[in-house]
Structure 1
């Protein structure tokens, strides 16, 4: 006997400056409700780029993991992370550690990798006292708002991520690659188009050149897809940047970005990028129990500063290959 059709979802609330909010009646089993409405929820994310489900009643990591699994058959383990996460349940992690008093610039998760999530899933178990929104920005709108000259340069050259791994700032080699075995790390780098070198003291330095503009694998929309601004030294708070430069030198920063030809980014260019993101950012305060779905290619996400405890869980879903996104440069090591 065929199962009865799922009841229709309520119409999302559309408000200027906010991602669509889908209110649901509290009560019942969140994973069961999500599974019944999976196709409709995913269709709304494709239509709007992001969707906040309010009233779902998520309370713990185990229940959240069930909801994440109901939404995607492809939950990814993160590789090449720039900061370590903690595993809270199968396919379910803490958010990237970042100082509570600092803004996390909008970005696309793992946009420097050759494989990345097509869908980001966030669940709020405990809302902060103030701030802490997971903000979103439409990547096609960002691309359209940038100066054409700058877009042409990034389209032609791509962008370059440089990393110097250490055990103090960001992810260590073992945390980023899942192993500290040199042979295994080198094999990963060769397979995923990452140039690498080991310094005499054993420190690993990597460079990877990637496309800054891609096409969405489903819709074909051109998107500004990268972490040029987020991982650049000029986005850091001045005192933190000064500390890192004093500690590691200008060429030994844990992470930094450049133009694809290796030229350094000007502070005013990074300020321009962050300004465009800020102008196009949409935000809705978290409430405990919320679920947020974000199309990781079409939509950048970030985080506002906050006060109080903030417990947000995340899953990386729906693996996408960069080669399926019409990159504008060849996928090679720098």
Structure 2
């Protein structure tokens, strides 16, 4: 469903900022710009375009925008760490769409803002769609919103080195079980080490949240991405032949453990994408988003695409 509302991220160019079209120009602008935090809350997403940011210069800019970057601990997307808590945005196969989501919304602790930077753009497609998370919530049928009102329960089965999905070592960036126990102890999760060396983690989380500054309620969960209905019929059928529901690398139910109907998560996925606007990458673009007010995803692409991300 498309409500017809037109929200777009705000573009800032060297001409707008009155600085040179270089990474140093962007740094100079960020050093003197007043009210950037307020502007981000007001506009939800900012695209810095025309500054020619590169992989070699992006860390200094992230240091300015994200001074306390988070490690991608407990993340479920395949990524490679390329610097000081700087990662590839995803290594999910390029032929697939990544549906809309707020980063780490399934976790006890999530980033408030994200920075993406395009350092290779020799591709067709590959836009990053953004959706106003308030609009996403409002676009859902009353029945769906009410069904999710009690929250959701996420379950992860992380293997110990060999198996489907991610290992617990990659997920928590350590091979120390004690460090994982210590991390999870502070997350309100329940977990159990398996006899085969794997780890099962269960988390009860709300389906919506409120922005800490504006108070606006937004859709804020990843039930559709964790649900087998969004894997596609063939993939879901193949996995069901070898795994019980509780053995899937990741799965989701309502908070009380009852199953979420496929039509509910498909509506969530589709309306998020239907209401999204695309950021079509140009080489050197940098995108700053409020991770509560805006969900993001990825369009399929052909060719070579490299987008880096930092979180704070």
**TM-score, length-scaled by structure 1:** 0.84
Distance 2:23 2:66 in 1: 21
Which ranges of structure 1 fall in alignment gaps of 5 or more residues?
Answer: 1-14, 318-334
Distance 2:25 2:91 in 1: 27
> 1:12 corresponds to which residue?
none
Correspondence for 1:181 among 161, 176, 184: 176
> 1:223 corresponds to which residue?
218
| Structure 2 residue 303 is matched with structure 1 residue 311 | no
> 1:164 corresponds to which residue?
157
Q: Give matches, 1:28-67, under 5 Å.
A: 29-30=24-25, 32-60=27-55, 62-67=56-61
Structure 1 residue 66, shift from structure 2 partner: 0.7
1:204-249 CA distance string (max 9 Å, x none): 1111010111110111111111111122211113333233333433
Distance 2:273 2:301 in 1: 17
Change (3 A) 1:273 1:242: same
Change (3 A) 1:28 1:80: closer
> 1:98 corresponds to which residue?
92
1:38-69 CA distance string (max 9 Å, x none): 54443332112112111111122x31011111
> Is this contact kept in 2: 1:79–1:177, CA < 8 A?
yes
1:14-40 CA distance string (max 9 Å, x none): x94643222324236155235325544
Q: Which deviates the most, 47-56 or 26-35?
A: 26-35
Structure 1 residue 104, shift from structure 2 partner: 0.3
Q: Give matches, 1:282-293, under 5 Å.
A: 282-293=277-288
> 1:327 corresponds to which residue?
none
Structure 1 residue 253, shift from structure 2 partner: 1.0
| Structure 2 residue 194 is matched with structure 1 residue 204 | no
Distance 1:31 1:42 in 2: 16
**SS across alignment from 2:113:** strand
Which ranges of structure 2 fall in alignment gaps of 5 or more residues?
Answer: 16-20
Distance 1:39 1:97 in 2: 36
> 1:19 corresponds to which residue?
9
Q: Give matches, 1:75-90, under 5 Å.
A: 75-90=69-84
**SS across alignment from 2:246:** coil
> Is this contact kept in 2: 1:18–1:284, CA < 8 A?
no
Distance 2:78 2:267 in 1: 29
> Is this contact kept in 1: 2:124–2:302, CA < 8 A?
yes
> 1:300 corresponds to which residue?
295
Structure 1 residue 288, shift from structure 2 partner: 0.3
> 1:6 corresponds to which residue?
none
Distance 1:130 1:225 in 2: 30
1:280-326 CA distance string (max 9 Å, x none): 11112100000101110111000000110101000011xxxxxxxxx
| Structure 2 residue 258 is matched with structure 1 residue 263 | yes
Distance 2:282 2:146 in 1: 41
> 1:10 corresponds to which residue?
none
Q: Which deviates the most, 289-298 or 236-245?
A: 236-245
1:122-141 CA distance string (max 9 Å, x none): 00011142111111101111
Structure 1 residue 203, shift from structure 2 partner: 2.0
Distance 2:147 2:245 in 1: 24
